[in-house]
Amino acid sequence: MLLNDVHSQLNPTTVAWVTRPTTLAALCEVVKQAKRRGMSLSVAGARHAMGGQQFAAQQGHVDMTGLQHVLHGDAQRGLLQIEAGANWHHIIAASHHMLAPGGTSWAIRQKQTGVDEVTLGGSISANAHGRGLLMQPLGADIEDVTLVDAEGDVLLCSRTQNAELFALVIGGYGLFGLIYAATLRLVPRQRVRRVVDILDLADAMHAVYRRVDDGCLYGDFQFVIDPKDDSFLHRGVFACYKPTTEPEADEAASADLQPEAWLQLLKLAHEDKAQAFKLYAQHYLSTHGHTYWADTMQLSTYIPSYADVLNSDQPTDRAPGPRQTLVIGEHYVPRDQIAAFMTQAARVLKAQNVEVIYGTIRAILQDDCSFLPWAKKDYACVIFNLRTFHTPQGKARTAEAFRHLIDAALALGGSYFLTYHRYATRAQVLHAYPQFETFLARKRHFDPQERFTSDWYRHHVALMGHSR
């Protein structure tokens, strides 16, 4: 069966077979059968990651989306145990059914941004993050995980029980076992009011501190993507969210653009970047002061087939061009270095002749949970979506651009996210993740037969010069 990732569609992989278990017993049996047959397993939920973490050529594949059930809710402590195949719509809905003492609903604190259909297990495996201004990655919100190990046995892992394995599973890319379920730490549900500014990057960090001092919990900065604009990457829409006791937010109100409007902006981002930013800024300014629920505010409009929609708008008398999608890269720098990084990034993107279709800056606090933390310090996170044509030249241009962007981040004491691609050199991987070879050694310790594998893992084993 041929599988591919949803977003970039650059990872077509033929696997031996696909199974979709619906019970814990069935999940354990999948591992035991693979052991008896001498096969390895890859695992995925929504198949959103772009680095090849969810597929392994010619091996078995486990589709986790059949495991979505709530297992336990502790309304006193705000703990929700749910199967790892649940996506964020399922998780948010389940949290609303839990009432805290006094009748207050519980809610998630953060979720992976940009897409809602990803599963909890996938978000944990990448140690994803949201838009919190003073939040660590998602691992900080995980109380425990229920893991099926390489023998097909069930283990409970937490900060006090199987603690090393817990730290390896958080941000471990599915290499240490199949996450059957996880317990999320929730927070009381609250309303927030959107506060919008259009400002220059030089003022953005000061604005972040002002908003934090003012009590804002969430925020991000969407920057100008037009390279012909003097404010390219340096001016943007800064939207923050402050708790409020104003009249209740509309339960159905979406903080994001509707699909039709989002498609229009995507089309303009390809054809008229100046107009795209103008409309985007107008939309957000028009919603200044609007109130939303803090959890559902984090839901996003996402159209994975947008490229097909855009291509369908092309004149019928013109031969179709090469397929194109977006490839994401995420880079981290100390917060006081963000302006310097964006200046260098602008040079890189122009020199490599690549297009930014969408980009944002967020904040993250240092991760003290995972074995392989990408947030080694308090960082500013910069995300680029690069327009990538599915031709050898187009893919090579994107890869080279991201390697240069990684170098720019590393030179400023930063890092990059391992999830989105496999373009980094060995030197770049080890500079950003000096414990990476130890991570691979712990993988071999807990899974000596490499029962759990992926093309991402195989690539990095070879990159480090290790034999499999």
Q: Is the pLDDT of residue 468 over 60?
A: no
Mean pLDDT lowest for which of 14-23, 300-309, 352-361, 392-401?
300-309
pLDDT of 76 reads 94
pLDDT of 104 reads 84
Instruction: Give mean pLDDT, residues 181-208.
Output: 92
pLDDT class for 264, splitting at 50, 70, 90? confident
Sign for the pseudo-dihedral over CA of 71, 73, 74, 79: positive
Q: Give dist(CA 89, CA 119) in Å, integer.
A: 10
Residue in the block written with tokens 């696909």: 18
Where do the structural domains in the chain lie, given as residue ranges?
1-189+435-468, 191-311+321-429
Mean pLDDT lowest for which of 252-256, 366-370, 450-454?
252-256
User: Tens digit of pLDDT for each residue in 162-184?
Assistant: 999 999 999 999 999 999 999 99
User: Tens digit of pLDDT for each residue in 321-373?
Assistant: 788 999 999 999 999 999 999 999 999 999 999 999 999 999 999 999 999 99
Q: Is the pLDDT of residue 149 over 80?
A: yes
Q: Is the pLDDT of residue 310 over 70?
A: no
Domain 1-189+435-468 matches domain 191-311+321-429 at the CATH topology level: no
Residues of the chain with pLDDT > 70: what percent? 94
pLDDT of 248 reads 63
Share the mean pLDDT of the chain.
93
CATH class of 1-189+435-468: alpha beta
Instruction: Give mean pLDDT, residues 15-21.
Output: 98
Max avg pLDDT among 142-151, 196-205, 244-253, 279-288 = 142-151
Please give, one letter per residue, the 3-state secondary structure of the chain.
Answer: CEECCCCCCCCCEECCEEECCCCHHHHHHHHHHHHHHCCCEEEECCCCCCCCCCCCCCCEEEEHHHCCCEEEEECCCCEEEEECCCEHHHHHHHHHCCECCCCCEEECCCCCCCCCCCEHHHHHHHCCCCCECCCCCHHHHEEEEEEECCCCCEEEEECCCCHHHHHHHCCCCCCCCEEEEEEEECEECCEEEEEEEEEEHHHHHHHHHHHHHCCCCEEEEEECCCCCCCCCCCEEEEEEEEEECCCCCCCCCCCCCCHHHHHHHHHHHHHCHHHHHHHHHHHHHHCCCCEEECCHHHCCCCCCCHHHHHHHCCCCCCCCCCCEEEEEEEEEEEHHHHHHHHHHHHHHHHHCCCCEEEEEEEEECCCCCCCCCCCCCCEEEEEEEEEEECCHHHHHHHHHHHHHHHHHHHHCCCEECCCCCCCCCHHHHHHHCCCHHHHHHHHHHHCCCCCECCHHHHHHHHHCCCCC
Whole-model pTM? 0.95
pLDDT of 238 reads 95
Residue in the block written with tokens 């749910």: 82
Query: Would you say domain 191-311+321-429 falls under CATH 3.30.56.10?
Result: no
Q: Give dist(CA 129, CA 362) in Å, integer.
A: 9
**Cβ of 62: how many Cβ atoms within 10 Å?**
25
pLDDT of 303 reads 74
Residues of the chain with pLDDT > 90: what percent? 84
